[in-house]
Structure 1
Amino acid sequence: MQYRRVQTKADIEFCKEAILAFRTNLNADTVVNEVFEMISKEGFELIYISSDDNKKAIAFTGYRVIRMLRTGPIIYIDDLYTLPEVRGKGYAGALLDHVAEQATKNGINAIHLDSGYALHTAHRLYLNKGYVLACNHFARQIA
């Protein structure tokens, strides 16, 4: 499996189908610029695996290094997604392993992520990869 790091708007365009399949709230007309801004200004990393024919991204993860008083520096995984037609082939697990390798390489001792309550298949993967259910995440929408 080869991991590719997004660096250009063309790279984002290559991943666009998978990004929009996962994050249906995003606008297809603006997503490339939004992601590029996150990468260029916020330290966001987007790593993907492409299809065998190299025509599209079939799985991706997006993460960033953040610092919190309670944890010190951590990697926070914003996104992890595999297109439905290629699930069960180990892509998500491989991407999690890649993020863990990056954490080790950069001296970061923890990786965090949030996952929806009903995503039991994803939860099994996280538990099998050594993640623990460490807390509840609360959110408040502001108009």
Structure 2
Amino acid sequence: MKIEELEAERTWLAFDPMRQLRPHLTSTGFVRLVNEIQRPEGYRLVASWDGEFGRVVAALGFRQVTSLAAGRHLAIDDLTTLLAARGRGHATRLLAWADREARRLGCEHIHLDADTHRHEAHCLALRAGYSISAFHLTRRV
């Protein structure tokens, strides 16, 4: 297992795990969205490689944010592992990487968004020391 940050020219390597989390995306659309819109806004992408699979099997997308409510924090928008690679510690190691990066950047907290129906993600985050501290409410406009 190897954890590494993916630069723009390697964004495509994270598409398979991200497609599982965001099935509406195409490979071209994913790369374009990340590289042309999200990266300029501070989005970063980290991948977990699995030697047995010979490819990226998990990915974490995040950005550094400063808000009045939470101060400087790391906001994890995307965390996903291919179904076949779950239970091998990829997401746990990605969260540990994010923790080290948050400390390096001087962040006070890490915020992780997980949709309400993603019970496995909730359990993973709680085991990793996260707490449910707020509701994230949305409204379509």
Determine if the TM-score, normalized by the shorter chain, exceeds 0.5.
yes
Over the aligned positions, Cα root-mean-square deviation in angstroms equals 1.6
C-alpha distance after superposition, 1:57-79 (max 9, x if no partner): 10010000011111111100000
Q: % of aligned pairs identical?
A: 29
Report the counterpart of residue 29 of structure 1 in structure 2: 28
Q: Secondary structure at the match of 2:121?
A: helix
Deviates more, 1:109-118 or 1:73-82: 109-118
| Distance apart, 1:120 and its partner CA | 2.0
Higher relative contact order (CA 8 A, sep 6+): 2
Unaligned runs of 5+ in 1: none
Distance 1:29-1:40 versus aligned 2 partners, 3 A rule: closer
- Amino acid of the structure 2 residue aligned with 1:57: V
Would the aligned equivalents of 1:15 and 1:56 in 2 still touch at CA under 8 Å?
no
- Amino acid of the structure 1 residue aligned with 2:85: V
Query: Scaled by the length of structure 2, what TM-score is found?
Result: 0.91
Unaligned runs of 5+ in 2: none
- State the alpha-carbon separation in 2 of the partners of residues 25 and 126 from structure 1: 25
Report the counterpart of residue 64 of structure 1 in structure 2: 63
Query: Scaled by the length of structure 1, what TM-score is found?
Result: 0.90
Structure richer in strand, relative to its length: 2
- Amino acid of the structure 2 residue aligned with 1:44: Y
- State the alpha-carbon separation in 2 of the partners of residues 82 and 54 from structure 1: 12
C-alpha distance after superposition, 1:48-101 (max 9, x if no partner): 012316743100100000111111111000000000001001111110011001
Aligned length, in residue pairs: 141
